[in-house]
């Protein structure tokens, strides 16, 4: 697994932890989630909103996905259809 792919997996796992529905009284992220975010390069504190973090995580994930996604070379490289 490449470093980009590993980062995509980690971003997906972190998004699943913070983007799920939550009660208003659970707005603060647990310290282990904040620590994980900092390790991924997303420093945050108690005042950082979930919405801001989700937007930043998705932006990084989109950037990585486009970086590892092969470009389509046009009709010349499209395999023939089945007869």
Q: Domain residue spans in the chain?
A: 1-6+28-69
Q: What integer pLDDT is reported at residue 3 of this predicted model?
A: 87
Q: What integer pLDDT is reported at residue 55 of this predicted model?
A: 94
Residue written as token pair 């975010």: 37
Measured between alpha carbons, how far is 81 from 77 in angstroms, rounded to an integer?
12
Q: What integer pLDDT is reported at residue 9 of this predicted model?
A: 92
What is the per-residue pLDDT across 20-73, written as a single tens digit (0 to 9) for each? 777 666 668 888 889 999 999 999 888 888 889 999 999 999 998 888 766 655
**3-state percent helix, strand, coil for the chain, nearest multiple of 5:** 60, 0, 40
Q: What integer pLDDT is reported at residue 10 of this predicted model?
A: 94
Q: Where is pLDDT greater, at 65 or 83?
A: 65
């Amino acid at each position: 697994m490449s470093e980009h792919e590993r980062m995509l997996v980690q971003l997906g796992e972190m998004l699943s932890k913070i983007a799920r529905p939550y009660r208003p009284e659970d707005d603060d992220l647990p310290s282990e989630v904040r620590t994980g975010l900092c390790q991924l390069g997303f420093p945050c504190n108690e005042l950082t909103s979930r919405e801001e973090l989700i937007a930043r995580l998705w932006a990084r994930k989109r950037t990585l996905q486009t970086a590892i996604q092969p470009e389509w070379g046009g009709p010349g490289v499209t395999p023939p259809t089945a007869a």
